[in-house]
Every structure is written in C-alpha cells, then in structure tokens.
Structure 1
C-alpha cells in the first residue's frame, strides 16, 4: 500500500510550515443551508474537503474528500474560486498554508454519515447567517462567497 502523501512529507519536514493544496465542496440542502462537518482534529467546523493526493486533480480530490467527510457522493458543478489565505495550526504542531479550490457540488448519491469517523465528529446544515466556530479565515471567506453566490442565483 502506498504511503499517505502528507504523512510522507511530514516525516521529512516535521512541523515546518508547508503549503498544501486542498479542495472543498459547497453542499446545499433544499433550504439553501450549507453542510459543515465538525472536524475530529481541530474540533471546529469546516466545509467537507481536504488535501490532494499526489497525481490527483482538485475536482477529483473534492469528490473524494466530500465522500470521506460526509458520506455523500457528489459531482462538481462549478468552480467558485481559488483561496490562498488559509493557515492552520493543528493540535499536533503541524502548520500549513492551504491553497483551496472551492467547488459548488451536487449530491448524486450516498447518505450523510450517521456515526463519527476519524475525520468527522458531526455533520449539520447551517444557515449562512447562523454559523458555528469555523476552522479559519479561509473557511469563513469560502462560506461568505457561497452565501453571495446563493443570493445572486436564487430568489430567496
């Protein structure tokens, strides 16, 4: 089995700050609320998504990571924007700047996870104006962009 790319990099550089590529998905329910996951590592909320594996595209990573984080099978519908101001310090001391491509995705199957995993403690749809404590400024900026996109594209 091939070694996890991020673990291999961390084995080489330790806790040195690094730049990582990530992808995230905006999943909306029929009331235009956004799906967030309570992260097991940092214990705050973020969009379903995560790190690209070596050789993977942003869109492929988005589909894979949304499935891992939420249980939903999704199709990328629209690339909303690339974000590059995200810095995260993890409880184990790792520090990373994340460059994230944010996609609007459409569920095409699967079901929301009903139990905790090693990455997700809980899942919940939130109104854009009633958000919980978020992972970082990048997550807040991504959700704000999604809120604007929903308002610009739907008669609410």
Structure 2
C-alpha cells in the first residue's frame, strides 16, 4: 500500500520509530437471497478479496485512514480505490491492534484496525490501482491461498451478521 503523504511527513520527524496508525478493513460481502438455490443447494455468501502486489497474499480491502476521516468513509474509499466496487458500511464487526509491522526500509508501525462489514452497492470487481494484481469474489468455503489467519478472522467477524463488535482479549 502506498505510504500516505501525512505519514511520510511524520517519518521526517520520527525516522523509523514505531508509529501508531489508525486503519480500516472493509469486508465486502454478497449474501444470497434466502430463496436463491442452485440445483436445490442453497447459495453461499461471497467475499470480495484483493491479491496484494507487494506480497501476493489475498486480503480484504484495507488502508490507512486520512487525518480526521471516519472509518466507514475510509473503508468505502479504499474498496472503491482498490476494486472499483461501490460499497457501504453495515456495521462495525470488530476492532483490534495488529502486532508490530517492520517494513524493509526499517519503518515500524502498529495498526489499530476498525473492521467493517460492508455491502456492495454497484460496480464490477476489477484491479483498480497498483496495490493489487487480482481482485475477485470468492465463496466463503473456497477462499484462495495464501490467506492469513487474521484475514480469516475478520471475514468470520463480518459474516456473523448482527453480532456485536468483537475485540481481541
């Protein structure tokens, strides 16, 4: 993910020291109509994923929030920028802090991720910026590899429709 200008400016002052960064993960879900069936088998929910250009991993859309940006608006912005899909936040599915992330240039960060369940409103999923090499909808039972455990966790959180927000303890 490209480093936002405000982070670059902070790095001029603090160098590579650990930085606490607010971020968002937008888990965009297409839920089947309860009456839809395929050959008598109930249809399954699908999740929108991107394959990152930097490491080849499959992830939900995510990104750093701009200063003063609401997480729901930031998640919608990231989804549109990365996939071309217009989506809206349905609910906060969870909030958690990542472990320390150290980048090849030495920069250290921890992210406070607000995970949002989102629904697609319009648009065709496609690679829409340089951050991804593939974009697609995947049945929840057939997620592509490689996908990390924390990605599976946030997908599970978002799929639990109507559940209260989750937190790591």
Shorter-chain TM-score bucket reads: 0.7 to 0.9
Match of residue 121, structure 1, among 133, 142, 154: 133
Of 77, 81, 84, the residue aligned with 1:71 is 84
Say how many residue pairs are matched.
Answer: 146
TM-score scaled to structure 2, two decimals?
A: 0.73
The equivalent residue for 1:19 is 20
Map 1:55-70; keep pairs closer than 5 Å. Answer: 55-70=68-83
The answer to whether structure 1 residue 39 and structure 2 residue 40 are counterparts is: no
- Shift, 1:70, TM fit: 1.1
Identify the match of residue 102 of structure 2 among 89, 111, 115: 89
Distance 1:146 1:87 in 2: 24
Instruction: Name the residue aligned to 2:150.
Output: 138
Unmatched runs of 5 consecutive residues or more in structure 1: none
Question: Structure 2: which 5+ runs fail to align?
Answer: 33-43, 164-169
Which whole-Å CA distance do the structure 1 matches of 2:55 and 2:102 have between them?
Answer: 9
94-103 or 125-134, larger mean C-alpha shift: 125-134
Asked if structure 2 preserves the Cα contact closer than 8 Å seen for 1:75 and 1:107, the reply is: yes
TM-score by length of 1: 0.78
Is the CA contact (8 Å cut-off) linking 1:48 and 1:66 kept in structure 2? yes
Once residues 99 and 141 of structure 1 are traced to their aligned partners in structure 2, the CA distance between those partners, rounded to angstroms, is 15
Q: Larger radius of gyration, structure 1 or 2?
A: 2
CA RMSD, Structure 1 to Structure 2 (Å) = 2.4
